[in-house]
Chains A and B, each alone.
Chain A
Amino acid sequence: DQQVKQNSPSLSVQEGRISILNCDYTNSMFDYFLWYKKYPAEGPTFLISISSIKDKNEDGRFTVFLNKSAKHLSLHIVPSQPGDSAVYFCAASETIRRALNFGKGTSLLVTP
């Protein structure tokens, strides 16, 4: 049973515009959320995270928003660059369990 859902398998955005990647979750016990970025033939790399006590976290061009009542989070990339083209995984965890629950990923393509 998929507890973390990324309903858009792919997204295409023009360079310089905003990319918005969405993620929904079903487990209300999740208290920490992360985004990972993955290039082909490489392992995922940590991008940004947010605790459930916050509703926004910003790091340079990347901002994650959390809406707990809707069980929804989103990753905003502004401005998008061709090097951002990758698969983005949303992940969530709950304090009592150390493992992460990953979504299926969204493939972002940023075109020049």
Chain B
Amino acid sequence: DVKVTQSSRYLVKRTGEKVFLECVQDMDHENMFWYRQDPGLGLRLIYFSYDVKMKEKGDIPEGYSVSREKKERFSLILESASTNQTSMYLCASSPLRPYNEQFFGPGTRLTVL
């Protein structure tokens, strides 16, 4: 059974802290994605990776970075958390083909105080 796991379901951090969100998939998928979901804005792509050590900016990369050292793991990093990064963060993965049928993790609700 396909599985994407995220390190935390809920996280509370303070402004200025460095935050790591971890995502692991067990499907040997090539592609991995980070989205954020906000009310009235839907899902917006932050970054994605199509191979180890490869990354590409999504629609809203500002304030974020990513790391993919191993195929199964994709990390989202908030270098200095700000209150406007309070959101639901969703990780997804997909195979090389069909690349567009993505499998999502349960999400991490991040609150930045």
Contacts and interface: CB of A to CB of B under 8 A. Distances in A.
A22 to B, nearest CB: 15
Interface in B37-83: 40-45, 48, 50, 56, 58
A73 B106 CA distance: 27
Given A34-B101, A43-B105, A43-B107, A98 B48 contact: yes
Interface string A25-63: 000000010101000011111100100000000000000
A99 B45 contact: yes
A36 to B, nearest CB: 8
Residue from A36, A45, A102 having most chain B Cβ neighbours under 10 A = A102
A51 B14 CA distance: 44
Contact-residue bracket for chain A = 20 to 34
A101 B92 CA distance: 13
Contact-residue bracket for chain B = 20 to 34
A104 interface: yes
A6 B42 CA distance: 10
Contacts of B41: 104
A100 interface: yes
A93 interface: yes
Given A32-B100, A49-B101, A100-B102, A44 B43 contact: yes
Interface of B: 4, 9, 31, 33, 35, 40-45, 48, 50, 56, 58, 90, 92, 94, 98-107
28 contacts: A6-B42, A9-B40, A32-B98, A36-B104, A41-B107, A42-B107, A43-B4, A43-B104, A43-B105, A43-B106, A43-B107, A44-B43, A44-B90, A44-B104, A46-B102, A49-B100, A49-B101, A91-B100, A98-B100, A99-B33, A99-B45, A99-B48, A99-B56, A100-B33, A100-B45, A102-B43, A104-B41, A105-B42
Interface of A: 6, 9, 32, 34, 36, 41-46, 49, 89, 91, 93, 98-105
Given A6-B42, A91-B100, 7 more contacts: A32-B98, A34-B100, A41-B9, A89-B42, A98-B48, A98-B99, A99-B48
